[in-house]
Structure 1
Amino acid sequence: MSAVAFFISAHGLGHAARAAAVMQALHDRRPHLRCEIFSAAPAWFFHESLTGPWRYHALAVDVGLVQVDSLHEDMPATLAALDAFYPLDAGLVQALARQIVALGCELVLCDIAPLGIAVAAAAGLPSVLIENFTWEWIYAGLEEAYPDLRRHRCYLAQLFAAADHRIQAEPVCVAQAGAFTTPPIARRPRQTRTEIRQRLGVAANAPLVLLTMGGAAWEYAFLPRLTTAQPDIQFLIPGSVSQVERWWPTKSSTVSTSVPGNRRRPRPSCCRNSVADSVGRRKSTLLMAGMSTPSLRMSETKPHSSGSSGSA
């Protein structure tokens, strides 16, 4: 096997992180295996996570939820995005199927991205679904308040059920018969505890508490009280200042490629969210981490165009 395709949800960076861990494990076993990544998650994330050969294809692969913030969804916008994205465009599915075959892919792995399952079937390739939840399970809990979700839930349930193989990573929301269950899948640490604390300017034995709403913007009204109520504790808070400072220096990357037949549609998933992967200035006992917003856009391009390779 020389290449595999990965279709990865961009709803936050958790799916990209899990997929990157799987890719790295594959590279450990097959150093020359090339991973063709289809996702709207930012390319720099894979650039900093992978050591083996890979190529990046900017593509929205699912919708998920349009969120106002970490705790509130914009359901009218979500329904509009779902109506625009599903049912999947047959022309897009066929064009992507031809593309992954032309790229030499022999397997398609999907981190809750149903588009990849449909593309694999059209290409005659086996598909592997990696999940601890799928979107129809999320929509089921919202369907009573938003009945229009039902048709999308039913459609997605059929798509997810069509996967040839299913890997469920704990904690599993809905156990599936015949699925392979594994402990949580995570990337290997890149730096030691000591190195991280040195970069943050935190003493080796000082208590350090991470407060996060998943990286999205949030107003922490209680911040001023932390410095007085807990003077001996350091608090690391991602997504709380506008100034962005990346924690790990990034290499400039031109890792991008076009996707055949990709129509301009409302930007789904994390498009209204920002993701925190940076650390800002220290203020008293608060470490304020900034946010970075992905700027990937879908584009209308010709099929089978080549992309640049990338590695960490």
Structure 2
Amino acid sequence: MNRPILYIAITNHGFGHAARTASVAATIQKLCPEVLLIMVTTAPRWLLECYIDGDFIHRPRAFDLGVVQADSLKMDKEATLTKLRDIKKQQNSLIASEVNFIRQNRVQLILADVPFLAPVFAKAAGIPCWMMSNFGWDLVYRDWGGEFVPIADWISECYRESDRWFRLPFHEPLQAFPHIIDVGLTGGTPRYSADEIRSIWGITAPQDKTILLTFGGLGLQQIPYEKLRHFPDWQFIVFDQTAPDLANFIKIHDRKYRPVDFMPVCSRVISKPGYGTFAEATLLDIPVVTITRDDFAEAAFLVEGLKNYNTHQILTPQELFNGNWEFLHQPMQPAKQTQPIAKDGNQAIAQTIINYLHTQKT
């Protein structure tokens, strides 16, 4: 009997999309080990293996770029526009190459988060493309105006070719997309107990004085680490290998550990706006401190979602980067909504995909 084959295309931007999609892929694999996963992304294999325990095929291909960035906040719009125009020029050869691969490997379904060419591949190959995201790249580019508007229009047209859209929480309206299905939060879950994490990494501070600093795969250059010397009885967990070696820092250098693995030992997470961090913290009921961000349209929806469903503290960039961090002594704000948010996104998407693949067996 032929194995069901799922092609999973992931946007070429940072680590967040790869991590959240790999969480869904891992759930598919656990529920139905016979499904062959083809992970199509330029994200490193070690990152995917942090989420997916079993075998998968890694096809390193880029069909979009998100935004060209020096770090997790500094964006190069000019370089982004140039590369988007290059992709538009090359789209026919990109499509032809992937259609050939999809047919040769008898792929039955594409799941995409959210490279806009994926629905076009699928249509040309004669198979469905289901997408999952809380936003589309057309939202971000359209907000920048000017020469990005025709690019955004092109991307919207590509997205309209999709057959189904799993709309994640903390989302933009996505009203232009057909067949929207709302699902709960997605994300990874800790692989270790809180006691194991404390023991392995020598975390001795009480939970209320243990803080996770996480700013995505690109990190941040302007975090005022030196100011954290003034909190000697606190412990700060950081993944940034360029951070100074302060006595109250625990630098995580082993790639098999992920930010979500440390969340249960922390009283809060300090992060830039990002779906993956917000979702995983909210899944675990860990409060989040974050900043406003006016230059990236997705951020407003993320921050609003965080306010609604998690204990939070919203800072200005000035307060985080130039302040004295006295906000650590200030109370957090409770979630605005009294109804809890659905937390079954991994399972809901995975089961729907498995059900479809079972109908394709011959």
| SS in structure 2 at match of 1:211 | strand
Bigger mean CA offset, 120-129 vs 175-184: 175-184
What is residue 111 of structure 2 aligned with on the other side? Answer: 109
- What are the Cα deviations for residues 108-157 of structure 1, in whole angstroms up to 9, with x where unaligned? 010111122111111100010111011000112111xxx11111100000
Aligned residue in 2 for 1:251: none
> Tell me, what secondary structure is at the counterpart of 1:86?
helix
Deviations 1:31-57 (A, max 9, x none): 111011111111111223213331011
Aligned to 1:168: 167
Specify the alignment match of 1:194 in structure 2: 195
Unaligned runs of 5+ in 2: 256-362
Distance 1:181 1:88, change over 3 A: farther
Contact 1:70–1:213 under 8 Å retained in 2: yes
Distance 1:219 1:89, change over 3 A: closer
In 2, distance between residues paired with 1:7 and 1:75? Answer: 24
Is 1:159 paired with 2:122? Answer: no
Match of 2:75 in 1: 73
Aligned to 2:82, what secondary structure does the other structure show?
A: helix
* Structure 2 Cα separation of the partners of residues 72 and 109 of structure 1: 29
- Does residue 1:35 correspond to 2:34, yes or no? no
Alpha-carbon distance, 1:200 to partner: 2.1
Tell me, yes or no, if structure 1 residue 231 matches structure 2 residue 232. Answer: yes
- The amino acid of 2:151's aligned partner reads H
> Which residue is 1:286 aligned to?
249
Gaps of 5+ in 1: 243-280, 293-312
- Total equivalences in the alignment: 250
Question: Higher RCO, 1 or 2 (CA under 8 Å, sep at least 6)?
Answer: 1
Contact 2:229 2:246 in 1 (8 A): no
Distance between the aligned counterparts of 1:165 and 1:200, measured in 2?
A: 43
Letter in 2 for 1:169: L
CA distance in 1, matches of 2:254, 2:219: 8
Q: Relative to structure 1, is the Cα distance of residues 130 and 179 closer, same or farther in structure 2, using a 3 angstrom cutoff?
A: same
Q: Which residue type is aligned with residue 49 of structure 1? A: Y
1:198-243 CA-partner distances (Å, limit 9, x unpaired)? 2321027342112233242433463223222x2221112232517x
Q: How high is the sequence identity, in percent, across the aligned residues? A: 25
Tell me, in whole angstroms, the C-alpha distance in 2 between the residues paired with 1:236 and 1:79: 36
Aligned equivalents of 1:69 and 1:82: distance in 2?
A: 19
| Residue 290 to residue 108, structure 1, CA distance change in 2 (3 Å) | same
SS in 2 for 1:105: coil
RMSD, aligned α-carbons: 2.2
